[in-house]
Amino acid sequence: MTISAFFAKLQRHLFGSGLDPLARGAWCRRQRRHLRIPGHPVVWVRGDALPWAEWGARRGYFEVDHMGGLAYLRALGAPAA
């Protein structure tokens, strides 16, 4: 187990889901900022980030789409790839 994985597990154990909506919101806002950068029309998502991406899409931060089984984020209203 890496140190970052250990601290992530420790944080989940100590804080549980009480901070989860705050952390998810911060993650979604950060991804939305990335989507606004010219030349960065998508953000690829995989692993543990996928549920957070779907959560953010349901709340209107961005859209989640799939290509070949891989999920990616697009800005709301952006043309499909």
pLDDT (tens digit per residue) in 14-34: 665 555 778 888 899 999 999
pTM for this one?
A: 0.70
Q: By the 8 A CB rule, do 59 and 26 touch?
A: no
Q: Tell whether the model's pLDDT for residue 44 goes beyond 80.
A: yes
Distance of alpha carbon 1 from alpha carbon 72, whole angstroms? 28
Residues 6+ apart with CB under 8 A from 60: 76
5 within domain boundaries: no
Is 3 among the domain residues? no
Q: What's the pLDDT score for residue 79?
A: 66
Residue 48, domain member (yes or no) = yes
Q: Using CB atoms within 10 Å of the CB of residue 43, give its burial: 0 to 12 exposed, 13 to 18 middle, 19+ buried.
A: buried
Q: Rounded mean pLDDT of 72-76?
A: 92
**Into how many domains does the chain fold?**
1
- In which domain, by residue range, is 63 found? 19-74
Tokens (6 digits) for 43:
């953000």
6: in domain? no
- The answer to whether residue 54 sits within a structural domain is yes
